[in-house]
Amino acid sequence: MNAQPQALNVISLAGVSKRYGNVDVLRDLDLTVRRGAIHGLVGLNGSGKTTTLECILGLQQVHSGSASILGFEPRHLYRADGDVVAVFDTPSLHANLTVRQTLSHAAHLIPAQKKPSASGVQPPRSVDEVMSLLGLSRYASFKIRSLSLGNRRRASIAHALLGNPKLVLLDEPFNGLDAGGVDEVLALIKTLNRDFGTSFLLSSHQLPYLQSVCSHLSILHGGHIVASGSLEELLQGSDAKLIVRTPDIARAQALLEKLDGILSVVSDTGSLTVTLATAKPAAVNQALVSAGIPVDELVHVRASVESLFRELTSASTDKSNSRAIAS
């Protein structure tokens, strides 16, 4: 991916490394988040996603590399006047306050330059509107300690969004939410991004949710980014597959292994898994039919974030193992 001009980026990390004791958690990590993007940070549990967010926010000191967030170094983020907010996996709200008290208190803490009396800039939504959007209205008088984990997460997100931030970092935002709650959070992210231009960095291991909402994606594995770019570009570069069911497996496999634009053909009971490079499904079907090979079913398995993640992380692991054996 070509580097974007600094003005187009809300987050720029270059060569960031972080260690805990003798363990390298992040190794020479580069990450760029474009202004106006919904950017997913994907990785297994324990891969360093939360540490990456903490380094961005200045909550962890890096051992090497540089970081810029809205043009500020992490240690100077207090100058951003609430334009950068984060919600981590474990909600941290005052347990003895009600939802309304929590949000009302947060609204009073919005920097003065963001209030209508100072600049005419209105926070995107009132306390009542944010509660309504996140399904919290009926819990307004409930104390935070009495809420489920999912509702505490909703309250944390509502708390973060009151001041109309330019950049929102969400760590595992879908944990603890039921299907309806996930849909509400996804809809809210899309609305804020579309209507207010809010940029998002979403750290998650729940790949289907990220695929449904993200414009860009970075895959974190082994402490560094193994792939990054627009979702469309990444998925176009991932291998698509065909599942071919035919009663004549042997002839079909022999034919397809010789066909241009096919990477591999793997036989299973009653079917073939065909990995495509440049060949089109219609061309594969035509080749089989022209050779007199009956095709009972041909299913095009399109590339997904999940398949891309498996492909890249397994390749990265294999390379690491090879280096370890060689050394």
- Percent above pLDDT 70 for the chain: 87
Say if residue 26's pLDDT is above 90.
Answer: yes
Q: Which residues pair with 217 in a beta bridge?
A: 40, 229
From 4-18, 26-40, 214-228, 279-293, the region with the lowest mean pLDDT? 4-18
pLDDT at 239: 63
pLDDT in tens, 81-128: 778 989 887 767 899 999 999 999 888 877 655 555 444 454 546 899
pLDDT at 254: 95
Query: For residue 324, how many other CB atoms are within 10 A of its CB?
Result: 8
Say if residue 315's pLDDT is above 60.
Answer: no
Among 257, 283, 286, residue whose Cα is nearest residue 272 = 257
- Which DSSP helix (H) or strand (E) runs through 248? none
Q: For the residues 45-57, what does the mean pLDDT come to?
A: 90
pLDDT in tens, 159-189: 888 877 899 999 988 887 888 888 888 988 9
Q: For the residues 61-81, what does the mean pLDDT come to?
A: 89
Q: For the residues 207-235, what does the mean pLDDT come to?
A: 90
Q: For the residues 282-295, what does the mean pLDDT come to?
A: 94
Domain boundaries, the chain: 6-231, 239-301
Q: How far apart are CA 286 and CA 300, in angstroms?
A: 14
pLDDT at 115: 53
**pLDDT-derived band of residue 46, with 50, 70 and 90 as boundaries?**
confident
Structure tokens at 9: 């980026």
Q: For the residues 133-140, what does the mean pLDDT come to?
A: 89
Average per-residue pLDDT in the chain?
84
Among 291, 297, 289, 292, residue whose Cα is nearest residue 272 = 297
* 196: Cβ contacts below 8 Å, ≥ 6 apart: 124, 164
Chain length of the chain: 327
Among 33, 34, 53, residue whose Cα is nearest residue 43 = 53
Structure tokens at 179: 């299907």
pLDDT at 176: 77
**pLDDT-derived band of residue 280, with 50, 70 and 90 as boundaries?**
confident
**pLDDT-derived band of residue 320, with 50, 70 and 90 as boundaries?**
very low
What dotted CATH number matches 239-301? Answer: 3.30.70.100
Say if residue 324's pLDDT is above 50.
Answer: no
Q: Looking at the structure, give the CATH architecture of the domain made up of residues 6-231.
A: 3-Layer(aba) Sandwich (3.40)
Structure tokens at 237: 């570069």
pLDDT at 238: 64
Q: For the residues 34-52, what does the mean pLDDT come to?
A: 92
**pLDDT-derived band of residue 45, with 50, 70 and 90 as boundaries?**
confident
* 300: Cβ contacts below 8 Å, ≥ 6 apart: 240, 241, 242, 281
Long-range contact set of residues 267-271: C-beta below 8 Å, sequence gap at least 24: 270/245, 271/243, 271/244, 271/245, 271/246
* 153: Cβ contacts below 8 Å, ≥ 6 apart: 87, 91, 173, 175, 176, 177
pLDDT at 321: 44
pLDDT in tens, 191-208: 889 988 999 999 998 888
Q: Which residues pair with 201 in a beta bridge?
A: 39, 169
pLDDT at 317: 53
Say if residue 251's pLDDT is above 90.
Answer: yes
* 188: Cβ contacts below 8 Å, ≥ 6 apart: 133, 134, 157, 161
Strongest mean pLDDT among 6-10, 81-85, 321-325: 81-85
pLDDT at 22: 87
